[in-house]
Every structure is written in C-alpha cells, then in structure tokens.
A and B are shown apart, each in its own frame.
Chain A
Amino acid sequence: MTMTANEMIERYVHEVGRQLPRKGRNDIERELRSLLQDAVDERAGDGQPTELTATKVLLDFGPPEQMAAQYHATQYVIGPQLYPFYRFVATIVLSVMAVLYLVLMILTLVTGNSADTASVIWNFLLEFAQAAVISLGVITLIFAGIERVWGGEIVIDGDSAEWDPHDLPPVDDPDRINRFEQVAGIIATIVFVGIFLVLIRPDGVLAPFIAPGFRSVIPLIIVSTAIEVMLKFIVVWQGRWTRMTRTLEIGSELFGLYVLVQILTVGAITTIDFLNWVIRLALFVALVVDAIGIVVKVVKLIFGRKFRPQWHNAVKPSS
C-alpha cells in the first residue's frame, strides 16, 4: 500500500494536532504542515516527493507524541498543587460516609426490624460501595474543573518574595497548626452535627428514639458547635495558635462543658432504656476528661511558654 507524501504529512499533522489543546491547535497544525512541506520539497529536489521522501522527513521530525509534548506544557487532570487538597477532601468525604453507613447499619440491626443480619450488612456494603464511587467521581470532576480553569495559577502557601529565614518556626512548634487537619475538623464537625440534627427532626429517622426532654438542649448544642467552628476558622486563618485563640478555646470548651452538664441533667436522652445509661456514662466520662483538659490548658496558658506575634503566619488576603 503506497501513500502520497501529502497524505503522510496530513496523517502526521492530524496525529500531532489530536494531542494538542484546542486553543492554538489549528495554527500549530498549519505551521507544522508548511514546515513538513518545506522539508519534503527540499529533500525531493526537482523530482516529485514520494512516500519515501516523506518517510525520511517524518523520521527526522520524530514521533507525533513527542512532537505534541514539545508543543504544550504537561497537562494534568488534577495537578501537583491541587492534588494534596483533592486527596484530603476525598479522604474526609469517604470517611464521613463510611462512619455514617456504619452507624445506620448498626441502628438498623439494633432496632431489629429485619430478620436477616447477613443481608442487612451485605446491602449496606453494596450501598456504601455505590455511594463511594459516585462521590469520588463527583469530587474528581469538581477538582478537574478547578484544575482546568485555574490550574496554572494555584500556588498554595507560596510567598517566596517575602520569605525570611528567621520566620522558620521551631521544629517542635506546639502552636503550629496543620491547616488540612483543622479544615478536616471543621468539615467533620459540621457534617456530623448537621446529619444528627437532620436525623432527629420530628420526621427524621431517629426521631422516635429521642426523648422529648432532650430537645430542649438542642439549641445549646447548635450554639456550642457554632462557637467551636468559628474558633477553628480563626485559627486556620491565622495559621497558628495565639494567646487570643487559646483563651477563646478555653472559653469555648467551658461553654461545651456547660452544655454537657445540661444534657446530663435534663433527664432521659433517648427512648431506648439501656442505651440511655450507656450514653450518659459516655457523656460523663467526656465531661471529666474535658474538665481535666481545660484545667491543663488554663495552667499552660498562665505559666506556659510565650506566643509568637499574633498575626505572624496569618494568610495574607491576596489582592
């Protein structure tokens, strides 16, 4: 089977163009075509260019994949700048879903409407697998979209012009926060409390198991959660713990302690008798641990080490 020189050139140009981003593709194709024609004509001399002439020229130009790669920068579905954040979000969402499905499964098993334990577990596993794949797909799509639109511009925490080696924090810096962890905490808190509130609404799945008295403390739980989340936002924004946020943290935890006491003294929490005692015991243990934690934090705040300047590592709003 023989081809004309032009046909080979066309195939090559098409193969390169196929691998280029749409923007600028036509122009590159056009230029590449003219360059190939120049080279083929030159090689053919006065004669007609043949398949062999074109073959030699194309061998000089190299494989279309390599040529295309030279024409455009490496492209990512999700680039290295964005990837850690992508993985982080995916992990959080999948973990939250796993816990949620586990809790729902246990509740279904405990309330015992279904006779067949194995099939209940199997169904939950299947549903979880389905939901996990779909969520992961959606998250990936969203991040791929972000990459496409802002891919080249995303720089996380980089401000090399203003970098001063003296700013390096000590290796064991107890005030440094991991932004990812803090954001994870915020998301997890909102998701868990949100789901809990939805489930115990009068028409929610868990509504029958919630004792009427318990509902009076729900506003307190919401306020306490809101305070905690706001505090975490401030910490994430400033990039590190400061004297102010540590003080606010103690205040927030004292309020949390107050809410715990209210829950413990309001009477029955759930309509399932044996669970009531388990929950109350767990809450009591939490109360004691929290109280000790607060005392330790107060002592540390008063007698502990110095804090670095408050706004030190704050994220500067980009202009």
Chain B
Amino acid sequence: MAKQPDKEALYDNLSLELRRGALVLAVLSQLRQEEYGYSLKQNLDARGMSINEGTLYPLLRRLEKQGLLSSDWRVIDDARPRRYYQISPVGEMMLSNLTQEWHNLVQTMDRLLLAKGG
C-alpha cells in the first residue's frame, strides 16, 4: 500500500506546485533594471515573493538560456565581480503576454472560486 504523505507535506507540495508557474513572471517583472542574483532575491523577498535560493538561481540561468534574460559579469562600486541579469527584448514581449495571461487567469479563478464558495 502506498504510504500516505502527511497533510502538511502534501500542502507544501501543492502550494509549491501552484506557485511554480508564477515564478517566471515574478522574476521577469523585477529585471527591467539589471540585478545580480542576491539583490534580486532580496527584492523579491521584500515584496513578499520569497523564492528559495536553490530554485531562483538555477531559474535565472534557464531563463537566460531561453533568451528571456541577458547577463554579464560586472564589477560595480569596487565590489566583487557579480553576474548581472536583465530582461531581453524577447523577455519583454513574453512578460507583457504572460502578464495579460495572468490577469485573465486571476479573473477566471476568482469566478470559479467565488461561485464555489457562494
């Protein structure tokens, strides 16, 4: 018999799954001006979107590989060299389309959830 996951773990899993799709949108939205990994993480944290390091940093690389971000090693203010990321023109286009999609989704979900509740 399959072992039943405890409710807490199951909830964590489901909520992670739910958030996963929004991560790309969240990251793209914050990279209109260039950021390095750590500053981006802090930015997102401050705005209530905290993404685990093990997810965020590899995601940046994947987005760059897909052409949505561009990046560069740079030294700013005599700090150590850091890799700075910024949204690319393709990324801008995707962001605007995905934002539209997001609003539609929220509206639809609201309708569904309210209909269920009321």
Determine the chain A residues whose CB is within 8 A of the CB of B53 once the complex forms. Answer: 35, 39, 60-62
Which segment, of B26-34, B79-87, B108-116, faces chain A? B79-87
Determine the chain B residues whose CB is within 8 A of the CB of A31 once the complex forms. Answer: 37, 57, 83
Determine the chain B residues whose CB is within 8 A of the CB of A7 once the complex forms. Answer: none
> A61-B53, A70-B55 provided; 17 other pairs, C-beta below 8 A?
A28-B61, A34-B36, A34-B37, A34-B80, A34-B81, A34-B83, A35-B36, A35-B37, A35-B53, A38-B82, A39-B53, A61-B54, A62-B52, A67-B54, A70-B57, A70-B58, A70-B59
Determine the chain B residues whose CB is within 8 A of the CB of A61 once the complex forms. Answer: 53-54
Max chain A Cβ within 10 angstroms of own Cβ: one of B38, B55, B59: B38
A35-85 contacts to B, CB under 8 A, are 35, 37-39, 42, 60-62, 66-67, 70-71
B80 engages A37 (CB within 8 Å): yes
In angstroms, how far is the closest chain B Cβ from the Cβ of A70?
4
What separation, in Å, do the CA atoms of A92 and B55 have in the docked complex? 44
**Which residue on chain B has the smallest CB distance to residue A38?**
B38
Question: Is chain A's binding surface mostly helix, strand, loop or mixed?
Answer: helix
A71 engages B83 (CB within 8 Å): no
Determine the chain B residues whose CB is within 8 A of the CB of A60 once the complex forms. Answer: 52-53
B58 engages A71 (CB within 8 Å): yes
Can you list 27 residue pairs at the A/B interface with Cβ under 8 Å? A28-B61, A31-B37, A31-B57, A34-B36, A34-B37, A34-B80, A34-B81, A34-B82, A34-B83, A35-B36, A35-B37, A35-B38, A35-B53, A35-B57, A38-B38, A38-B82, A39-B53, A42-B38, A60-B53, A62-B53, A62-B54, A66-B54, A67-B54, A70-B54, A70-B57, A70-B58, A71-B61
A32 within 8 A of B: yes
In angstroms, how far is the closest chain B Cβ from the Cβ of A8?
15
B78-115 contacts to A, CB under 8 A, are 80-83
Determine the chain A residues whose CB is within 8 A of the CB of B80 once the complex forms. Answer: 34, 37
In angstroms, how far is the closest chain A Cβ from the Cβ of B96?
27
Determine the chain B residues whose CB is within 8 A of the CB of A30 once the complex forms. Answer: 73, 83
What separation, in Å, do the CA atoms of A264 and B81 have in the docked complex? 85
Determine the chain B residues whose CB is within 8 A of the CB of A39 once the complex forms. Answer: 38, 53
B54 engages A38 (CB within 8 Å): no
Max chain B Cβ within 10 angstroms of own Cβ: one of A34, A37, A60: A34
What separation, in Å, do the CA atoms of A34 and B39 have in the docked complex? 12
**Which residue on chain A has the smallest CB distance to residue B60?**
A31
In angstroms, how far is the closest chain B Cβ from the Cβ of A48?
16
Determine the chain A residues whose CB is within 8 A of the CB of B83 once the complex forms. Answer: 30-31, 34
Max chain A Cβ within 10 angstroms of own Cβ: one of B37, B52, B53, B61: B53
What separation, in Å, do the CA atoms of A274 and B96 have in the docked complex? 86
What separation, in Å, do the CA atoms of A262 and B37 have in the docked complex? 80
Determine the chain A residues whose CB is within 8 A of the CB of B55 once the complex forms. Answer: 70
A216-248 contacts to B, CB under 8 A, are none
What separation, in Å, do the CA atoms of A67 and B52 have in the docked complex? 11
Determine the chain A residues whose CB is within 8 A of the CB of B81 once the complex forms. Answer: 34
**Which residue on chain A has the smallest CB distance to residue B80?**
A34
In angstroms, how far is the closest chain A Cβ from the Cβ of B4?
24
A67 engages B58 (CB within 8 Å): yes
A280-296 contacts to B, CB under 8 A, are none
In angstroms, how far is the closest chain B Cβ from the Cβ of A268?
67
In angstroms, how far is the closest chain A Cβ from the Cβ of B39?
8
